[in-house]
Amino acid sequence: MKTAKEHLLMQFHEHEKIAAKSWLNIFQAINSQTAKRTKALKLSCKAAFSVENVDKNRYRDISPYDQNRITLGSDENYINASPIRVDETRQKYILCQGPLDDTCADLWQMIWEQNVPTIVMLNKLIERGLLKCSPYFPSRSIKEMSFKPYKIVCESEEEEGDFTVRILSLHMDEVEEVKTITQIQYTEWPDFGVPKSTANLLHLMRRYWELHGRENSSPAVVHCSAGVGRSGTFVVVDTVIRMIEAGTEVDMEKLIVRLREKRMGLIQTPQQLRFSWQAIVHFFQYDDEGGRGDEPSSSIGVEEGDESVGRKRESSNDGHDEKLAKRRAMIAGIVEKSRKCERSRQSQTSSFISYLSPLSSPIVAVSSIIAVAAISYYYYTR
């Protein structure tokens, strides 16, 4: 009888024989099962779409379910964040979006109230010229940030290849207690895509285990821009590795469907599905061969059909050759820039919308819309 590990390896290699078509079919089957479960469980997002909360969502199509969302304070205020507990591994995660300017304080309130010791950040602040996450944390360049009533101080920052480890101290006004938070920011994972190799993710995973602790029962905050694609891949890989190590049978498709009941859209493309499976396979293959489990693997290209299946927030293909110095300089100035560009973009967009409303000429209207897009791009990239 095959072990859980042998069964998973066999399944992966069977799917690889059929290649892209197989992964596309599996992904579509997962989507179909997800839709059925969502309907059967009557999952809803009323809180996310209420008048007072709708502007707290970075993307209109990524929201926490009413039946499984983090609430803030005694008033149960809203934040776009979903708790996930995996009973088989006794691990807890909170998947959330990258905060907006107006929700950075909410993020730190959640971290304080939920006693979060670790943040796994899987995105850059700016990707392809767009602000994908407001700067909510200090760094070596900006030692301290405040989001009332919270103050965050960067105690240390170390570059470790493709990711940065920061030790942050979290203070709250009129409270003596100081909490220590470890943030791991991985910067080489493109939105809707995958890292260059499984080695990169496995290196990050091992570092996470060291810093967070393999047996830590406190929740880790895991986020990217939307908190579903890259974040979901990370959680699936961590969960399956732990389950197989414990000798627990794993059905990858059923596991993803079950996790999607807690956070919608978890794993967004067939490419991310394949990559998560491949990372798990490589972890155990190298482990059997006496390796470290993080040797380089072949890079994964975008498979035929991927682009038409995932959510369409944006197509992203990050350049992996950005220099570290450039990233540091960008972070140093991004706090003021993000606020300035948001204010300017909103002001310019509102002016053009007012201008457009009485127009009847389609040509003028189209030209004006193009102008709005150009202005938005200018303020985000200059």
Question: Annotated catalytic sites, by residue?
Answer: 224
Closest CA to 124 of 272, 320, 264, 315: 320
Closest CA to 191 of 63, 317, 62, 58: 317
- The dihedrals phi and psi of 83, each to the nearest 5 degrees, come to -80, 140
The answer to whether 296 touches 335, Cβ cutoff 8 Å, is no
Burial 116-145 (b: 16+ CB within 10 A, else e): bbbbbbbbbbbbbeebbbbbbbbbeeeeeb
Burial grade of 244 (CB within 10 A; 0-12, 13-18, 19 or more): buried
Residue that the structure tokens 């776009």 belong to: 80
Residues 6+ apart with CB under 8 A from 7: 249, 250
Burial grade of 220 (CB within 10 A; 0-12, 13-18, 19 or more): buried
